[in-house]
Amino acid sequence: MSVVDDAIQNLDDKTRSYYELNSQNITELKKAAYDTSRPTKERTAALDELDFRFHILSVGVARDLVGDGDVGVATAAIELLSASIAMSDFHSLLAGKDLSPNQIVVKQSHEKTRSVLRNALEDPRPSVRTLAAEILASLSDEQALEMIQTGVRNGLYTARQAVNYFGLSDSKVGGKFILPYLDSESTDAQLSAVGYLGAYESFQHEVRDNVFLNPNAKPDVRAESANILGKYDKGFTLYADEVTSDPVVPLNVYTNTVNSYIEQKGKEGDWTSEEKAAVQSSINKYEMFNPGVDLSAVSGRLNQGF
């Protein structure tokens, strides 16, 4: 095998010639990057130089180093791989046919990189696996997302971390992984799920029915759903009164719902005096059923005529 290995064999003649003419430099840089007796700084510097001068080969070295015992080297390798993917226009490569020799090399390299990063999802070192998770999630890699889901059950990731990773994916992919977390035991995970799903029309009904209109949902999560749906769901004012008509709904849920209602109606610019009167009546009723509750600030917003 050539000192520059099989990675360049399918490249165009000009590029392959450049790599072969610099085989000695390549060998020295690879040796330095792999040398576990060297300090982290020296090894990562060699990897960076290899990437700058001989990028195609640096990717293969980086894949080897993802599992390196030096966490600094391992994370540097993952960061290099991330940058490589970002520069590769990978969506076009994965879908493309009639690829050039160089594009074929990049596509094959990209697929190998994904495989290595998936293995890193189970690395015992948090800094390594979380970095790999961020990259793969941003690629909407469903196999990786399934592994993260399993990792939650195995204690490698918290529920909130998982939701945040899933949220980096395209909504059509990540959304279906986030959806079950609306019922999570973790309040933090639920809040993150509501924040993500409530922003997308295709998932708003799930947040509405399973959280906002659910009297058994956690008050803090319901309150957050009122904020999110009020901001993103154009139909929020059509069903908000199902909550505001309930005088025993938790205070934070009620307050957020009324405030969101007022804000959305204000943006629509079609307030009628009857609608404002109905909201004020709801506020008065809530205060009457809950002695000591002062909603004057909410009434003030209403009377400002949003």
Tens-binned pLDDT, residue by residue, of the chain (306 aa): 343 455 666 667 788 788 888 889 999 999 999 999 999 999 999 999 999 998 888 999 999 999 999 999 999 999 999 998 887 665 555 556 676 766 777 777 788 999 999 999 999 999 999 999 999 999 999 999 999 999 999 999 999 999 999 999 999 999 999 999 999 999 999 999 999 999 999 999 999 999 999 999 999 999 999 999 999 999 999 999 999 999 999 999 999 999 999 999 988 887 888 989 999 999 999 999 999 999 999 999 888 854
Q: Alpha-carbon distance 79 to 162, whole Å?
A: 20
Sequence-distant (6+) residues with CB within 8 A of 131 are 75, 78, 79, 82, 120
Q: Alpha-carbon distance 213 to 25, whole Å?
A: 66
What is the domain partition of the chain in residue ranges?
Answer: 1-120
pTM of the model: 0.86
Output the pLDDT for position 252: 98
**CA–CA distances in Å: residue 55 to residues 4, 82, 139, 288:** 12, 13, 21, 71
Q: Alpha-carbon distance 33 to 73, whole Å?
A: 9
Output the pLDDT for position 306: 47
Output the pLDDT for position 95: 57
Q: Alpha-carbon distance 299 to 19, whole Å?
A: 73
Tokens at residue 22, please? 């610099």
